[in-house]
Structure 1
């Protein structure tokens, strides 16, 4: 009896000792995670003695810790004590997923030999993954969405034969062939290998994994054909391998995957028909876009009763869409754009009242828009452009309450634009061009206050422009060219504060040009040609910064305002015989007294004054010349460019200074910056104005004029041969002058003139007193001046986007910047942005769509990923770089930081942090605090993610970027470009 009592006491002591040590292990874990008594949900970790009472902790029947489940608890830490955790003898489950942990995964994890369940996903664990072979009891291993690098220990998985779930994706492992060792894990029913840098072909032994229900290996470098053996995985419900390089046809027998609900093989090079898919009756989502599939869509698709998503765009499919497609379930969207489909649009896809997107543009559909869609109140995008549709648009289409885009362009529609459009409060893009719409533009259109773009060009519209058009405060573009619209241009159009483009050409407009147009400070393009406008050109137009102006073929009279009498507008006034000018331009006749000019007496007086002033200026110029010649022989300021006998000044705007005033200010004390090509100086002019001067040496510069340190370009210039150096700098100078001299845009830096000699070149710009965006976001100078509030950051984002949009879309020939970065975005006194530094710019000539340049240019952290596999640079490369700038604005972080991991950048870092709303909000710069600002910042971050898509084709155009940014303002709908959103919008949670 006494012996039994002693044994019980000894056993009790062992249990108590075990419990005590386990408590200490958990307390060590608590401390490593920075959990305090005030941490929400962790009070029990401070008030309880038994670990079994700690929240998130379970014990077995012996009172020993068996499970630690802290999934999505908002914990953080960078030194997880795996060594002590693995000393818990009964630990079978460790779940730390979806937190803010950044610890390396140490080799101590191998000591957790009792583990059945290990979840570390959606954190910031880094470094190499250690050998996992000791964890032979594991049934669940999930380490996806971290920052793991180096070679993955694939061979160690051969011991983990009990695995049911294996999720390794969204990490940065070294490239490796598809691991055949996985084929031994025959108990797997979930295998997630997306974004793991796999290459090569899928082995035929994939057939061994017959229990698989979910198989995902998207966003890799896999190639070859889909193995026929995959058809033996008959339990699959989800199969995703988008964005690889698979070729060939869907294998025979693929239809045996009868349980398949989610199938995504988009963005590959697959071909053949879709006949194998006709047996997959349980499909919920089918995405095959960006392939080379041909033939007809199987008629059986019309009987699929669970189908809600269908994306087949950008293939070569033909024939008709099955009439009943999408009619059985709560259908969400269809996108079959850019194919060769014919026949009518199926009428019943919104049967259940859930459809959001109807996208069938760029096909050969015919017939009318089915009347059923007029009642589809959930519809957000209706895009049927570039087809052969006809008839009258159902009246209810115009008034759909949630529709963002109505795109009916390039069809044969007739009838009026419905008055119900005033009820479309969410509508921001209205595309009606190249149809046969008739009647008046309804007055109610002014009530569609979210409108950003209106394009009803080349129709048969008549009547007048609604007098209330000024209510459209957000409209950026109005294009009504090629109609029969009459009457006057409404004065209220000057109230459309956001207008960038107005095209009213080739109508029957009469009356005068309204003075109110001069209030449109953002207006960049104005075309009123081919009308019957009369009267004088308002002087207020001179205040606009127009890159395009066309007032030709009207009945205008009188003197052209002096500011418009420049060569850039030489073709803007033809066909107006009663117009004249009083300047030196030769593209119009000079004004005479009969034009309402001054009297003969006054003209004589003015002529005398001009002659006298000319003689005086000539005398002064001669004195300046003599003085300058003497100064050339004097001691020179070592920081000044070498002065020669001949300087060539080319002015691009009206100047209030000469070259001598610039040259004498190129001194060491005036330096405000330096770049790869030379130094930048601040010059205070006698007029009180301040300009910035970039000094570029045409021959090898002395050491004091070298490029700034730390630049790859600088290093190259420093080691180049003199002739090569000179050639490179001349090319940079020519590029910048050629680009900037022709640009007139409020968000592009102004170039006043160039001054050149044999050995030096100077570019004189407007001076921007608030420096550049990089300085304001990332330097101590910016901190001293105060953090940029969100409203300012947002305006910088929109303004910069508009500058790039103009370069890409607003010039006669699109211009590539090729070095978009925050330090090349300058800020004026009101923090309005200017795109600057066009030394790397490239004009894209009228060439095929893939026109590009093969010169690698740009700055580390901003360079698009296509440089890794091609030298081709397109406008989408600028879009990528701008996306990085947006990320800087939203997060306040630099493009390259140590925290992101070795060889990683802000794009990679953000892509790993956007799996939950909480983590997304954690990305926002902490200096942004107001709720409305946080909401807008998240929307802008969404745009940034789109801009930095891995594939250039998936990035929106800058025109779309501008629209999305403007829609990101509080209370405005957010949308992305069609055909570009299905892979990215789900990644960034709302």
Structure 2
């Protein structure tokens, strides 16, 4: 039963209103307080202009969030510090490393001096580091690459020196600027592995060579790359040392230096003009012929490469070696054991799904654990197979090719990354990061059996992680991706119980102009499929939202759609039963009994309301993934 637009808007308004009711007065963590006071003092704050405060969370530019401390109580932790243009002339204190929950440090447009302390690498959750336009000097700590959550790194317009060896592995980095410093050496080739990098600036330094090869990081020529990727040095002639012959423009201080200009040359004669026109015309004709020839050759080469790629995906011929998508696998030899006939026979099988079996393995020469999915490939001469078996195998191969194409190019903290792909004549091996806690379905089964606990704080963290992953697939990846089979079995949990969306075997990429994809095979799992799919056979991102609404209901109610409990109800459906209970006089009876009595009932009812909103019959009334992520993130404990 679809809600009228007015009621749905009122429901959304009430959800946001309830978010601000759930709060409590909490003190700041003592270690954060001590570290911040030291950090603030050494920055060089003027006591009259910005007095030191006993409660940093009340300081302008300081943001705090609630966190569960080691003694099982809640405390405020400092997560963001933004002191831009404060006329600070001190130093960056090593005490910054004790702010372990810090996500953003922005100190740009000040007069800070000295070096970046090595202790900053202890801020493991740092996502934004902006130190631009200061007077920092010395070398950048080489361990900076251990901050793998960094999305923005700006150290431009300082006096940093040395090389760029600190740019090793930043899988989530989106924006990088080291412009207008005193760096030397070469730009490291590791930049090409930063898959999420959208813009960077290396201008205004003294590198040995123009980093032209970086323009090929996506396999295109420099002319094909959007302007934001082009380095400032590329637009200026170079000296014998390889640096720009012109003074580069600062990324922050746009000062221009003009010199004496040469006097204009006398006007050319008519003879010279005619000769010049003939020269230009000849150049145009020659350029056109050369371009046509080069285009024909390029088209032929592209056609051959395309046919070769299709042959490889179909499994024809011999193995061409592993395709490695992540620096976590140091070299191809680490996966050599998969080239053998019995490559996984001695490994422990940890799962089995529609696309194949999953094994756990430890890479030779290291302690890295990986999960390996083996998918059998139909033989070329599959005459002995029945027509039905042949269809099943071909469907699996379509799924595995989709997974390779999608996952291999996708990186986000809440998506399970594909590390490598090994193709063999008889099968495919997909190598993933190993998730110690297994899937959400495994954990829920253990909770149901009474051998494990999953409290509300952990469940809420999982909902936020899944919502963030969906938001990336639906709104930030190009082309957009719809998962089509989101369920607890396809949500894995890492060592920190952070959710990772997995199993893109059914995922499909949608080009930007399209809003849906059509399919001849039923995708997804019964109990999770949106009702409109059965009528239209068109799967949209709002179908993923419906799936996620069911997952939200499962996390709060502790029951899956196939649970025998729903077979004994009038509704015979998780979604319909959830709606009826939420509109009844006692909605708390929908909450898992194991979660009652901990004081979080209001939060859990709020999540159930969001679940009802996600599973509305009319897909147009469902919120998008960004709205859901915002609503869930604003629920504070």
TM-score in terms of structure 2 length = 0.60
Distance 1:733 1:908 in 2: 34
The answer on 1:733 being equivalent to 2:400 is yes
Asked whether the equivalents of residues 790 and 928 of structure 1 are also in contact (C-alpha less than 8 Å), the reply is: yes
For residue 925 of structure 1, report the CA deviation from its aligned partner.
1.6
Per the alignment, residue 924 of structure 1 pairs with 591
Structure 1 distance, partners of 2:442, 2:381, is 28
Is residue 831 of structure 1 aligned with residue 493 of structure 2? Answer: no
1:907 to 568, 571, 575: 575
Partners of 1:540 and 1:836 in 2: how far apart?
31
Deviation at 1:774, TM superposition (A): 0.6
Q: 1:445 to 1:950 in 2, by over 3 A?
A: farther
Query: Residues 627-653 of structure 1: CA distance to partner in whole angstroms, max 9, x if unpaired?
Result: xxxxxxxxxxxxxxx997534311112
Give runs of aligned pairs for residues 143-292 of structure 1, distance below 5 A. Answer: 195=1, 219=2, 242=4
Quote the offset at 1:824 in angstroms.
0.7
Task: Return closer, same or farther for 1:843/1:566 CA change in 2, 3 Å cut-off.
Answer: same
**Structure 1 residue aligned with 2:432:** 765
Going from structure 1 to structure 2, the CA distance change for 1:472 and 1:947 (only over 3 Å counts) comes to: farther
Which segments of 5 or more consecutive residues in structure 2 lack a partner in the other structure?
Answer: 22-48, 50-54, 67-76, 217-232, 234-240, 243-314
Residue 373 of structure 2 is matched in structure 1 by 694
- Say yes or no: does 1:678 pair with 2:356: yes
| CA displacement at 1:864 relative to structure 2 | 2.3
Change (3 A) 1:558 1:725: farther
Aligned to 1:648: 321
Query: Is 1:955 aligned to 2:622, yes or no?
Result: yes
Deviation by residue 1:257-303 (Cα, 9 ceiling, x = unmatched) = xxxxxxx5x78xxxxxxxxxxxxxxxxxxxxx8xxxxxxxxxxxxxx
Change (3 A) 1:963 1:694: same
1:756 aligns with 2:446: no
> Any idea what SS the aligned residue of 2:357 has?
strand
Q: Distance in 1 between matches of 2:430 and 2:19?
A: 52
Q: 1:697 to 1:758 in 2, by over 3 A?
A: same
**Secondary structure of the residue that 2:612 maps to in structure 1?**
helix
Corresponding residue of 2:60: 444
Is 2:287 aligned against 1:661? no
Say which structure is richer in strand.
1
Relative to structure 1, is the Cα distance of residues 815 and 652 closer, same or farther in structure 2, using a 3 angstrom cutoff? same
Residues 535/887 of structure 1: CA separation in 2 closer, same or farther (3 Å cut): farther
Deviations 1:472-523 (A, max 9, x none): 999978999xxx95556998998987665x4969x85664698699599683
> Following the alignment from structure 2 to structure 1, what is the Cα–Cα distance between the partners of residues 157 and 182?
10
SS at match of 1:765: strand
How far does the alpha carbon of each residue in 1:924-949 deviate from its partner, in whole angstroms, 9 at most, with x for none?
Answer: 22222452344443333333333333
Aligned pairs, number:
476
CA contact (8 A) 2:64 2:78 kept: no
Shift of 1:743: 2.8
Give the counterpart of 1:578 among 189, 206, 213: 206
The alignment status of 1:548 with 2:177, answered yes or no, reads no
Q: Distance in 1 between matches of 2:19 and 2:443?
A: 42
Residue aligned with 2:411, SS: coil
Task: Measure the CA separation in 1 of the matches of 2:171 and 2:420.
Answer: 17
Q: Which position in structure 2 is the counterpart of 1:742?
A: 409
* 2:538 matched residue in structure 1: 872
* 2:623 paired with 1:945: no
Q: What's the offset of the Cα at 1:825? A: 1.1
Would the alpha carbon gap of residues 814 and 645 (structure 1) be closer, same or farther in structure 2, given more than 3 Å must change? closer
Partners of 2:584 and 2:394 lie apart in 1 by 52
Q: Which structure has the larger Rg over C-alpha atoms?
A: 1
In the TM superposition, what is the alpha-carbon distance from 1:674 to its structure 2 partner?
1.9
Question: Alpha-carbon deviations, 1:597-617, whole Å to 9, x = none?
Answer: xxxxxxxxxxxxxxxxxxxxx
Residues in 2 aligned to 1:563 and 1:833: alpha-carbon distance in whole angstroms: 31
Structure 1 residues 941 and 560: CA distance shift in structure 2, 3 A: farther
Q: Secondary structure of 1:896's partner?
A: coil
What SS class does the counterpart of residue 755 from structure 1 fall into? Answer: strand
CA distance in 1, matches of 2:87, 2:616: 44
Q: 1:939 to 1:477 in 2, by over 3 A?
A: farther
Give 1:977's aligned residue: none
Asked whether the 8 Å contact 1:547–1:744 carries over to 2, the reply is no
Contact kept, 8 Å, 2:369 with 2:433, in 1: the verdict is yes
1:584 Cα deviation from its structure 2 partner: 14
- Cα drift, residue 756 of structure 1: 0.9
Give the conservation status (yes or no) of the 8 Å contact 2:528–2:546: yes
Give deviations 1:704-739, integer Å, cap 9, x for gaps: xxxxxxxxxxxxx996463x5554333322221222
Q: Which has the higher contact order (CA 8 A, sep 6+)?
A: 2
Could you tell me whether the CA contact under 8 Å between 2:140 and 2:166 is conserved in 1? Answer: no
Task: Verify the 8 A CA contact 1:700 1:726 in the aligned structure 2.
Answer: no
The 5 Å alignment of 1:46-445 reads: 195=1, 219=2, 242=4, 444-445=60-61
8 Å contact kept, 1:749–1:836 = yes
CA distance in 2, matches of 1:842, 1:452: 40
Gaps of 5+ in 1: 1-194, 196-218, 221-241, 244-263, 268-288, 290-308, 314-332, 335-355, 358-377, 382-418, 420-424, 428-441, 596-641, 704-716, 971-990
Distance 1:452 1:946 in 2: 33
Aligned pair partner of 1:853 in 517, 526, 530: 517
CA distance in 2, matches of 1:472, 1:952: 43
Q: Say if 1:692 and 1:928 are closer, same or farther in 2 by CA, change over 3 A.
A: same
Q: CA deviation at 1:677?
A: 1.9
Shift, 1:556, TM fit: 6.2
Distance in 2 (alpha carbons) for counterparts of 1:677 and 1:510: 56
Query: What's the C-alpha RMSD, in Å, of the aligned pairs?
Result: 5.3
Q: Distance in 1 between matches of 2:380 and 2:352?
A: 13
**Deviation sequence 1:361-394 (CA, Å, 0-9, x none):** xxxxxxxxxxxxxxxxx9989xxxxxxxxxxxxx
What displacement does 1:907 show?
1.9
Q: Give the whole-Å Cα distance in 2 for the aligned partners of 1:866 and 1:537.
A: 57
C-alpha distance 537-735 of structure 1, shift in aligned 2 (>3 A): farther
1:659 to partner: Cα distance: 3.8
Distance 1:741 1:496, change over 3 A: same
- How many Å apart are 1:805 and its aligned residue? 2.8
Q: Which residue of structure 1 aligns with residue 226 of structure 2?
A: none
SS at match of 1:931: coil
Deviation at 1:961, TM superposition (A): 2.6
Partner of 1:893: 559
- Structure with greater proportional helix content: 2
